[in-house]
Structure 1
Amino acid sequence: MNAISRGCPSGGAHPVLSLAQVEALRAALSGRLLAVCFGSGVDSTAMLVALHAAGLRPDIITFADTGAEKPETLAHIEAMDSVLRAWGWPTVSVCRKKPKPTTGYQDLYGNCMANETLPSLAFGMKSCSVKWKQVPQDQFLMGARSGPNARPPHPVWEHAKATGQRIVKLIGYDCGKADLRRSKALKPADTNFDYVYPLQLVRWTRRDCVRAITQVLGADLVPIKSACFFCPASKHWELYWLAANHPELLERALLLERNALTGKHSRFDAVQFGASWEHLVRNADGFPSTTTTVGLGRSFSWNQWARVNDVVDEQFNVRRTAADRARFAALSNSLRDPDNALDSRTPGIPVVDITDSEQLELW
């Protein structure tokens, strides 16, 4: 039996959880029906590592595929399924929303293109996440009575109803400032589920998550950031990463932005800015200061960013020479801070074993 199947760090490394952390997880979760919401990113992968180290086996693990996932994200699910089988755990159940045939689209990208709009996050809202991620996972568990997503309830849901238990949804929010802010804004329960954030119970930050994955599963199973390839929350380093690794996906994102900002639902006002969106993208270095969403970056246009930084040619095709892609990769690495995903595989950023003292000093 290897280290992964035992759930222990390889090479005799220090355990990833202290006794106090194990007890915190067990006190909150032992004897409960557990449903892991797996995002196939660093936090949710580390959450599985922490649960296994505490001897807590989830009853179901779900992932919502928006149809816009990066290939590496989907490949990570397959890799984790091998780990989960070795642990004797349920593998990842991939959930996907099925739109009505009359919509003419099959995924989130098609939804945005058909409606000539950006993802709702570009306007400070979360409806795209609710519609394409939360609802499909809820329906996978609770079932749906009618429509293209009709399905019977999952046995875990039926068992919960039959025994009067509540399912606990486990969310991979860590102890970084952003995730702490998100979790505090949410209720601990709703009509159907209770919500718990295991990484916050063990006080892990993003760096702790990367270290734990590296120790237990190996550096190759530290995933990239999980997000749609046209996510409005993407940072400049992620755009360079996309240009270096998947230029075709960046081109699709640029097309989506152009389709939305020149389409019938565009909120861009040429009178306010003194020029059309197209003119500013092609000729200006930036947009005037405004609260109006001017692109996928909300305050900046991905098309304009790509032109100004010589990522695209005059036709907005992503440059694909070996030299260009090497430049994009170098810029991505230089802009990415140590707490981002992939840091365990980035030259110059050492992987340090977790110790009890490091974990207990996080607060």
Structure 2
Amino acid sequence: MDLTFSPSATDAILSAAQIRALRDALDGRLIALCFGSGVDSTAMMVALRVAGVRPHVITFADTGGEKPETLAHLDRMQAVLALWGWPPIDVVRTKTLPSTGYTTLLGNCLANETLPSLAFGMSSCSLKWKAHCQDQFLMGARSGPNARPEHAVWVEAKAAGQKVVKLIGYDCSKADTRRAKRVADVESPFDYVYPLQLLGWVRSDCVSAIARFLGVDMVPIKSACFFCPASKHWELYWLAAMHPELFEQALHMERVALTGRHSRFDAVEFGGKSWEEMVATSDRFPSTKTTVGLGRSFAWNQWARVNGVVDAEFRVVRARREEFLLLAKTLGGADNAFDARSCSEIAESEVEAQQLRELEEAFA
């Protein structure tokens, strides 16, 4: 990992106007950067580094459901920050009472026989397991399992009569623009700044900046829990190929939730068939407003069976790993430089050239 760059390479990442925009918004403020270990937050760090803006504290919330690649990127970025002379990333977690019986979001879902709230169109899973614990790390908590003193940055801000500026890696995509607006509409003890939006960057700009400044190997995969209800079909193929045991855990979570005591599934709505029968015998669920699985409108278990990702026992067919990787690459397009490269390199290293050509023809 070569972190020595020429001035011309640095200048190519941000214009003078972009540097001014970041400095005007952040100079003289106490800054807390929320790091997600994904493309946007990594690009945000790169932009701040080029602009000469150094955060005072950096936090990463570990839900217990992170992909191994996300945690590996976290470690790599710790090394980068040490070279930059930046503060290390503080990894925070939501702590639960011993009597609760679980310590992670996955455990929460299994114990309560439910899915992450995003599967029902809500965001409380992200608030509880990501945002809230990062806030408590800074603001402190007086009691409970997450009790802790106020962070020094928070104490300094209060003494100065200021608000800590929280940096979030929302880019200029429509989805992130909506998210930023929702945050702005809520009264908060923090001031929020979105550096990528100040720069006018979308995802491709973020990938390009990371590749040029840190190297293409430092472009991470999308940061999300391995059981995230927002996962696209290509991501399910990727997960089944790269981490079949995690994919099977997600299928188990879904099955427990849709057949458990809190299931929102209405058997009468589907001709009297149970969820298990629909998953095992039907190609899809009829159109409905009822959440039928991790995919909201589709069940991961059913999708996996229909597409040959799992066998009759709903175990991932590991012999088809290279096919799943190729499908992930084909369906995923250029969504993320790392994803495209990893699928290509792994497939080519494990499948003879002729086999790869046959697969490409079969799934063209």
Could you tell me the TM-score, scaled by structure 1's length? 0.91
What is aligned with 1:352?
none
Match for 2:102: what amino acid?
Y
What is aligned with 2:300?
302
Q: Residue deviations 1:92-139, cap 9 Å, x none?
A: 100001111111111000000000000000000011011100110011
The match for 1:261 among 258, 261, 267 is 258
The match for 2:226 among 219, 229, 238 is 229
Give how far 1:10 is off. Answer: 9.0
What is aligned with 1:169?
166
Change (3 A) 1:344 1:163: farther
What is aligned with 2:274?
276
What is aligned with 2:353?
none
Distance 1:217 1:40 in 2: 14
Distance 1:34 1:188 in 2: 21
**Number of aligned positions between the proteins:** 343
The alignment partner of 1:342 has SS state of helix
Give how far 1:188 is off. Answer: 6.7
Give how far 1:9 is off. Answer: 6.2
Distance 1:282 1:147 in 2: 44
Identity %: 66
Q: Residue deviations 1:266-323, cap 9 Å, x none?
A: 00011111111100100000000001000000000000000000000000001112xx
Match for 1:331: what amino acid?
L
What is aligned with 2:121?
124
The alignment partner of 1:195 has SS state of strand
Distance 1:110 1:12 in 2: 45
Q: Which has the higher contact order (CA 8 A, sep 6+)?
A: 1
Q: Does 1:140 align with 2:137?
A: yes
Match for 1:160: what amino acid?
A
2:168–2:192 contact (8 Å) kept in structure 1: yes
Q: Does 1:329 align with 2:321?
A: no
Change (3 A) 1:145 1:196: same
Match for 1:339: what amino acid?
D
1:171–1:195 contact (8 Å) kept in structure 2: yes
Give how far 1:345 is off. Answer: 2.8
Change (3 A) 1:185 1:12: closer
Distance 1:289 1:325 in 2: 31
Superposition pairs for residues 67-82 of structure 1, below 5 Å? 67-82=64-79
Distance 1:45 1:155 in 2: 24
What is aligned with 2:155?
158
The match for 2:48 among 51, 64, 78 is 51
Q: Does 1:27 align with 2:50?
A: no
Give how far 1:340 is off. Answer: 3.2
Greater CA drift, 59-68 or 154-163: 154-163
Distance 1:71 1:42 in 2: 15
1:225–1:341 contact (8 Å) kept in structure 2: no
Give how far 1:58 is off. Answer: 0.2
2:332–2:340 contact (8 Å) kept in structure 1: no
Give how far 1:13 is off. Answer: 6.8
Give how far 1:179 is off. Answer: 1.0
Could you tell me the TM-score, scaled by structure 2's length? 0.91
Give how far 1:343 is off. Answer: 5.5
Distance 1:41 1:343 in 2: 12
1:143–1:151 contact (8 Å) kept in structure 2: yes
Runs of 5+ consecutive residues of structure 1 not aligned to the other structure:
349-363
Runs of 5+ consecutive residues of structure 2 not aligned to the other structure:
345-364
Match for 1:292: what amino acid?
T
2:57–2:87 contact (8 Å) kept in structure 1: yes
What is aligned with 1:246?
243
